[in-house]
Amino acid sequence: MPLSEKKLIQQIRRSVHGGESVVAGIGDDCAVLRVPAGHELLVTTDFSIERVHFRRDWHRPETVGRRCLTRGLSDIAAMGGDPRAVFLSLAVASDVSQRWVNRFLKGLLDLAEEFQVPLAGGDTAQSAGGIQADIVVVGSVPQGKAILRSGAKGGEQIYVTGELGGSAAALSQLAESSPVGAEDSRHFRPQPRLAVGRWLRQKGRASAMIDLSDGLSTDLEHICAESRVGAEIEAEAIPRANFGRRKNPVDLEFALHGGDDYELLFTSAMPIPPQVEGVRVTRIGRTTRSRGMRLIAADGKVKRLKAAGWEHFKKN
Ligand code: ADP
Ligand code: MG
């Protein structure tokens, strides 16, 4: 990396804008943030680690930067919150080009600009190998209004935004050494669903919510565990991403267990329109008072649904 730490920080500092929540941003020992009166703070942190979350030969640097921030913004969306400031801790090995870092930062800062969230600080270091980025997003939500994973009751409907499985299908194709076309690589540029999350919170429509980062089956299990309910999912109802030259829906397995979609999964006792803030919303099943997750196949057969999404440290 040709630039020194100091130069890189100066460069980052020049390319960021302040925001109404940032009293003091990059350049001091701490950022000073202003929180709206009557709001509570939301804080989330997410790693993006080379060869764990991305590969330099599979993902463009802009995509890695964009997805790095998406992971954080999506967590804020899942609480029904508003993002206020972003912090980036970046460790880069000495053999990574300055160009890669610049393009990574561009991807990240373009998304920050899109959602009007200022980069207000971070840390920069040389890594012992590869690239590690940790993103921190600070958000806020009116007091007591955060949408938790624990609020679902039995007998509610389960909804999901957008389409699932596109990112996993693209990864699987790359793993088979086939390149992914431009149209399909868009699955690596998910859209954080902040507007939908905010709408659900303002209207009080969601009883529990989570963002889909590890896969539907695994993330649904988190809602079930925290809310102490079970779930029945209708396989046919799951909105699957279209993939490949023929734009066929991805395999059900990708939609059920594939990660990195960053859509919202939520429960509600109230009806939800098929489109919220321009985003498709689909009912995929219901919660049950009896625990456990079940999948209802197209032929009506019911089988157990196992959480089989992404999990670190899983031995297999
Ligand atoms: P300190 O040693 O006091 O932590 P640094 O020299 O690490 O200070 O950072 C100087 C300023 O630059 C701080 O405001 C810090 O938040 C900011 N900063 C450092 N690295 C980054 C980065 N990767 N992205 C955004 N801001 C950064
Ligand atoms: Mg520092």
Comparing CA positions, the residue from 218, 211, 189, 267 lying closest to residue 72 is 211
Residue whose Cα lies nearest atom 7 of ligand 1: it is 123
**Closest-approaching ligand to the CA atom of 5:** 1
**Closest-approaching ligand to the CA atom of 122:** 1
Distance 121 CA to ligand 1 centre (A): 6
Phi, psi of 31 (to 5 degrees): -80, 150
Residue-level pLDDT, tens digit, the chain, 316 residues: 778 889 999 999 999 988 899 999 999 999 999 999 999 999 999 999 999 999 999 999 999 999 999 999 999 999 999 999 999 999 999 999 999 999 999 999 999 999 999 999 999 999 999 999 999 999 999 999 999 999 999 999 999 999 999 999 999 999 998 888 888 888 899 999 999 999 999 999 999 999 999 999 999 999 999 999 999 999 999 999 999 988 999 999 999 999 999 999 999 999 999 999 999 999 999 999 999 999 999 999 999 999 998 777 665 4
Distance 94 CA to ligand 1 centre (A): 19
**Closest-approaching ligand to the CA atom of 29:** 1
Distance 25 CA to ligand 2 centre (A): 13
Nearest atom (ligand 1) to Cα of 89: 23
Distance 114 CA to ligand 1 centre (A): 23
Ligand 1 binding residues, C-beta < 6 A: 9, 12, 26-29, 88, 90, 119, 121-124
